[in-house]
Amino acid sequence: MYMKKIFVFAAVILVMTMGLFSKEVFKDINLGRIFVINKDGFMYSDIDSHTIGKYSPEGKLVLKMGRKGEGPGDIKRMGWFAISPKDGLIYVTEFAGGNKWVSKFTKNGKFVKEYNVEVDWRKIDGLSFNAIDEQGNTYIETTKNTFERYKEFSLGTVHRVLYKFSPEGKKLAEIYKFSGKFNADRGDKGNITIPFHNYLYWKLYKDVIIVREHHDDFVSIFNLDGSIKKKIHLPFKKEKLTKKDINRWGKIMRARPSMKEAIAKGWIDFNYWFKRLPYPDYKPVSGMQMFIDPEGYLLSCKYFGYERKNFRWARINLETGENTVIRTPDDEKLLYIDKDFYYFRKEVDDANYDEVLIKIPKDKLEVIHVGEKK
C-alpha cells in the first residue's frame, strides 16, 4: 500500500511531568491486557480469559461479566473487547480456540446477543482487536498462525487482516494485511517469542483508521472504506540490531522471575534459543499501543526495548503531520487517555506481577520543554 506524498517534520523534545499531589492511585483494579472507560467514568478490564471486571470511578469492583463456556453469554478465550460509542454496548471477540462469534453485553454485564461476522473460518483462527464507529460498524482484526520448518525447529508466523463489518456482520472492506515471524518451537527445547519482532497496531479515530507496524518509521492513515489517505513519518529512525542489543535482551530475560522458573523446571532451554533464533536485522521503531490525547493528537511511542523505560512519544497532528516528542515517566506505562485524564500502569512488585493504576487530570500533566525552567 503506497501513497503519493509523505509528510516529514522536525521534532522538538518535550517532557511530561506530574505534580506531586495530582496523582490518584487505584490498588484494587485487576489490570489485564485490556482497559477501557465508558462515558460515565466506569472502568473495564479483563480479569482472566473469560471474565471482564467493571470498576467504579473510585476503583471498586462493581460486577463481573462473562463466564467460561461455549453457549450464549459465554466467553471461552477472550480476544479483545471495546465499547460502542453508538449504544454503549460492550463487544467481545475471541482468539483461536474460542467461540466463533462476537458477543454483546450491556454496561451492567447483561448478555444481549451474539452474532457472526462474514469471515472464512477455514482461513483464520480467531478474532482479536476490535473497535466500533459512530454508525455501529465494527472493525475487527482476524488472526491466523502458521508454522514452517526452520533448521532444527519450527518457526511461527502470525497473519492478521483488519476488516470493516456492518452492524449485522456483513464484510464491508478490507483495511490492512500483516504477516510477521513471531515465535519458535521445538518440543524438547520449549517455545519462545522471537525478540524484536514486528507487530501490528491500529487505532480508530473519527473517520480514519491509523495503522502502524513496529518496524516502520511512519504511520498510515486510511479512510473507513479502506482507501489510503496519507502517511506521516515518525521522528524516530530505524536502527540496526546489534550484538549488544541481543546480549542485553538475553540478560534481561534471564533475570525475569517467569523465565527463571521456566528454565529451572525445564520448560525452556534458553541458551539453545539464544544462540539459534532468527533475529531481525533492525530493531522496532515503535512499541506499545497508539493513543489519541484530549486535543486530538496521535501519540505513538518510540521502541523502548526490554527494560521498559525511557518512554518517548511522537505527538502528531493528524491533519498537518507536524509533531513534537514528549516523554512520560520511566516507571509508569501509559495505558489509556480520555478527554479529562491520563491513566498509567505502574509495576510495584515484579516477582508477583502486582500493578497499580494511576490517574492524572490532563491539566495536572504538564508539558515542559527540555532544558527550560518550569
Amino acid at 18: M
**Could you count the other beta carbons within 10 Å of the beta carbon of residue 120?**
8
pLDDT category at 70 given cuts 50, 70, 90 is very high
330 part of a folded domain:
no
pLDDT mean over 4-19: 44
292 part of a folded domain:
no
147 part of a folded domain:
yes
Percent of the chain predicted with pLDDT > 90: 79
Backbone angles phi, psi at 300, to 5 degrees: -125, 125
CA angle, 87 then 338 then 358, to 5°: 125
Q: Please state, in angstroms and rounded to a whole number, the distance separating the CA atoms of residues 227 and 247.
A: 42
| Residue 178: strand pairing partners | 160
pLDDT tops 70 at residue 10:
no
What is residue 307's three-state secondary structure?
helix
Exposure string for 307-345, b = 16+ CB within 10 A, e = fewer: eeeebbbbbbbbeebbbbbbbbbeebbbbbbbeebbbbb
pLDDT tops 80 at residue 8:
no
The model's pTM: 0.90
pLDDT tops 70 at residue 250:
yes
pLDDT mean over 3-32: 61
| Grid coordinates of 280 | 531481525
Predicted confidence at residue 370, as pLDDT, reads: 34
Task: List the CATH number of the domain containing 88.
Answer: 2.120.10.30
238 part of a folded domain:
no
314 part of a folded domain:
no
155 part of a folded domain:
yes
pLDDT tops 90 at residue 69:
yes
Give the sign of the dihedral formed by CA 102, CA 108, CA 111, CA 112: negative
- Cα dihedral 93/336/214/244 (nearest 10): -120
Predicted confidence at residue 365, as pLDDT, reads: 65
Give the sign of the dihedral formed by CA 6, CA 11, CA 14, CA 15: positive
Q: Please state, in angstroms and rounded to a whole number, the distance separating the CA atoms of residues 104 and 89.
A: 6
9 part of a folded domain:
no
Percent of the chain predicted with pLDDT > 70: 90
pLDDT mean over 330-339: 88
- List Cα–Cα distances, 20 to 17, 23, 24, 124, 364, in angstroms: 9, 7, 11, 49, 10
Locus of grid cell 517455545? 191
Predicted confidence at residue 151, as pLDDT, reads: 87
pLDDT mean over 183-190: 96
**Residue-wise DSSP of 264-300:** HTTS--HHHHHHH----SB--SEEEEEEE-TTS-EEE
pLDDT mean over 190-200: 96
Q: Please state, in angstroms and rounded to a whole number, the distance separating the CA atoms of residues 185 and 269.
A: 11
| Grid coordinates of 350 | 515484579
Predicted confidence at residue 265, as pLDDT, reads: 96
Question: What is the chain's mean pLDDT, rounded?
Answer: 90
What is residue 72's three-state secondary structure?
coil
| pLDDT tens sequence across 258-305 | 999 999 999 999 999 999 999 999 999 998 899 999 899 999 999 988
Among 371, 299, 369, CA closest to 334: 299
CA 104 remoteness from chain centre? 21
Please count the structural domains in the chain. 1
23 part of a folded domain:
no
Name the residue range of residue 170's domain: 31-194
Q: Please state, in angstroms and rounded to a whole number, the distance separating the CA atoms of residues 1 and 73.
A: 39
pLDDT category at 371 given cuts 50, 70, 90 is very low
pLDDT mean over 74-83: 97
